[in-house]
Structure 1
Amino acid sequence: MAMSAAEIERLIKATFPDARIELRDLAGDNDHWAAHVVSSAFKGKSRIQQHQMIYEALGGRVGGALHALQLTTALPAD
């Protein structure tokens, strides 16, 4: 079962209310997404830790309901 952009954004925002999220459907099937997430919650975290935080926010859906996620993360520009 595919996930909509709205559902992905809702799950991320529930954990990271300040997040700016850009989503792109890579295959037009709501199953393969690219996400760029910007949040101050990433401060002091490695890139791997930032990605793990997003995967946790998605509640284990990556690889299931969300088949593939190409993820980039960043801190807000000051």
Structure 2
Amino acid sequence: MPMEESIIEERILKAFPDAKVVMVDLAGDGDHWAARVTSAAFAGKSRVQQHKMVYSAIGKELGGELHALALQTFIPETTD
């Protein structure tokens, strides 16, 4: 059974409460997702580290219930 969008988003937000998350069902099957995650927690981290942080938040279902996740991570812009 595919992982629901709300569960993916909930897990990301639990790990990154400040995050802005945009989810897109790439194939219309609930099994192939794209996620755009913006969080201050990514500051100072490499893109690989950022992605590992998100994958860790989602959990072991990645590759199982969640077949594919195209991930983009961003740091929020600050205005001083």
TM-score (norm: length of structure 1): 0.97
User: 1: CA distance between counterparts of 2:43 and 2:29?
Assistant: 33
The 5 A counterparts of 1:1-78 are 1-78=1-78
Q: Distance in 1 between matches of 2:60 and 2:12?
A: 12
Q: How far apart are 1:60 and its partner, in Å?
A: 1.6
Partner Cα distance (1:35, 1:4) in 2: 13
Q: Which runs of 5+ in 1 are unaligned?
A: none
| Number of aligned positions between the proteins | 78
- SS for the counterpart of 1:35 is strand
Distance 2:70 2:58 in 1: 13
CA RMSD in angstroms comes to 0.6
TM-score (structure 2 length as normaliser): 0.95
Give distance in 1, aligned partners of 2:59 and 2:67: 13
- Max Rg structure: 2
| In 2, Cα distance between equivalents of 1:20 and 1:60 | 22
Point out where structure 2 has 5 or more consecutive residues left out of the alignment: none
The percent identity for this pair of structures is 55
Q: 4+ residue runs of structure 1 moved beyond 4 angstroms?
A: none
